[in-house]
């Protein structure tokens, strides 16, 4: 399997090198040259290769993560516990944000609704709660270690 992956990567690298050669040269600040570069088939094909490789990386990461997650019941239990905890943090954050933190004139200027402001507040409170939990989880073991000695 590793030989196939190495060969595929070499082929993709060679195709990319050939496409690099066919890219338009010049200063891209000139609108005509930039338009030529944007409409270049070599550039489009390079983007297609990038999207394909990105898609493969995402699929492989998700598949191996799910495979490891479902391999043992303990891993699945830990993951479900973490998801439920995160959901609780989001729910608490939603109820903490009221959606009326901004000036009504600002809302009309930005075309924002109260629900949009409430969602933004939920995200901010979620971040703050998770940051506090992370700091506490870093400090508590250190303090325990100091007290225990």
The whole-number pLDDT of residue 106 equals 66
pLDDT digits (tens, 9 = 90+) for 68-80: 888 888 888 998 9
Q: Are 22 and 39 within 8 A, CB to CB? A: no
Report the C-alpha gap between 25 and 28 in whole angstroms: 8
pLDDT digits (tens, 9 = 90+) for 84-120: 999 999 999 999 988 766 666 666 777 777 788 888 8
Report the C-alpha gap between 134 and 61 in whole angstroms: 25
pLDDT digits (tens, 9 = 90+) for 27-65: 555 666 556 666 667 777 878 888 888 898 899 899 988
In angstroms, what CA-CA distances link 54 with 4, 9, 10, 68, 114?
Answer: 18, 13, 17, 21, 37
* Residue 61 token pair: 């990461």
């Amino acid at each position: 399997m590793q030989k196939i992956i190495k060969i595929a990567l070499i082929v993709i690298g060679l195709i990319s090198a050939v496409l690099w050669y066919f890219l338009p040269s010049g200063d891209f600040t000139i609108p005509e040259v930039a338009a030529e570069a944007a409409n270049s088939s070599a550039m489009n094909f390079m983007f297609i290769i990038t999207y394909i490789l990105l898609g493969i990386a995402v699929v492989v990461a998700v598949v191996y993560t799910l495979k490891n997650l479902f391999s043992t019941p303990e891993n699945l239990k830990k993951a479900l516990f973490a998801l439920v905890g995160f959901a609780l943090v989001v729910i608490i954050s939603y109820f903490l944000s009221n959606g009326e933190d901004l000036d009504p004139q600002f809302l009309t200027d930005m075309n924002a609704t109260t629900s949009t402001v409430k969602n933004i507040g939920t995200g901010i409170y979620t971040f703050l709660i998770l940051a506090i939990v992370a700091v506490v989880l870093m400090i508590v073991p250190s303090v325990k270690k100091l007290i225990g000695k």
